Structure 1
């Protein structure tokens, strides 16, 4: 379970969907002045080099952030606000008109958090954890005073409930395991169940891969049932960029948002068709956007 390294996948189409949804959701929550506790259960290394050995070997960024950047440069008048915000955060780590470094979820949350917000990061991987600590420390040097960040080398599934409820009663929890371990699907549901008991009003952002395997296909159904059982509103956004059968690699992924911020659905309704045009590779490219109040 410790072999997964996100450096192979940094900046791919799944990251694009996840990070655009995360950033705009947080932007909407920050319209209120009260501090927010931001939690990332699987923080990874924080920052990734797209020129590095891992990223170049997989070249997945070519189907994601790099392809999207090229499309945006060719269609500058059609870019949705959420996509512009996404590239504004990426630009903070890169020279003008170039993307060599890609920020993971933890880094993005660090960049956009306010002085009244808190950031709780968890990463169990023995190789990625030191990189996360170093990358966050370097980034923190840009802030005076330093932002409130706590990093733990712990299992995010079991540690999440320890941070709930946050003192301000406002929180955003990102749950984005690799799902390389098939147990992750059930662990997501277990962690949600424990968390909702402590903090039912928090915003929970769950990323999931869309694959032709039973546990993967059942997860959205289980999440829908979970929300129905607990009477929780949700938003489901999916993006597919190519055929799952005729091509290699991950073709689609989704974001499930429990207690979605107001207006997030409207922003994704504008963004998702744009992403299909920008990233789509064949006739199987599609998006889906569902919600339940």
Structure 2
């Protein structure tokens, strides 16, 4: 790894992405930039407690010494998204740990998050880093799809209640279980091979699910499949709504997914994708877990 600050043309990278023409992705460079990144963090996560915000001094220090702090800026200087990462170690490798990447609600689903990750990737590569890691909520199907399917990351670790209960809009006081995404961006990166629908429909499913009278799906029990090379692990739909309206059911899903994930990772599996199955008007989401090859 080289300890140099790379010059990466973010505009050339973003031109390959369908992004709002008024949004510019660039490294934070001034006190105003860092303040805007902090405000974007507040809006993206619905943060009410300032103790959950990354301090400006921390962002400045990281950005000047191997980390990467990016903002998605409008022409008037406001940030509608941000990404904050610092150098760390994953296993025995130097990696960029991407603590935060978020987009304010008005600009979500408009390509800003993807553009932030792509610029982060190419800056990291230019600075000699070939692995990026970050934590995400395993019950958030949208994040899982973005991280595993769109970016091509994989999951090999599960951490129970990583931060302790948090009161922001996304976590609503629930235990903060997290999985760690590992994104190979250098020569070790391998293309994602989606599981054909016809094949996925017949794969073992690790969580047996029943249905309540109100139609909501309830995790019933964990069913190990010790000899299967690939298995599916269901996660709930609209977990934020469940946490708000059905906290007991949301907690049941957390416990079921935790049990299945931990047992599977211990048995040598890793999550490599997300399979979406349509059942009439409903959609069900499943992690695709492959058994790791020896030495992989």
Q: Flag the structure with higher helix content.
A: 1
TM-score of the alignment, normalized to the shorter chain, above 0.5: no
Q: TM-score w.r.t. structure 1 length?
A: 0.30
Larger Rg: 2
Give the TM-score taking structure 2 as reference length: 0.30
If asked which structure has higher relative contact order (CA below 8 Å, sep 6+), I would say 1
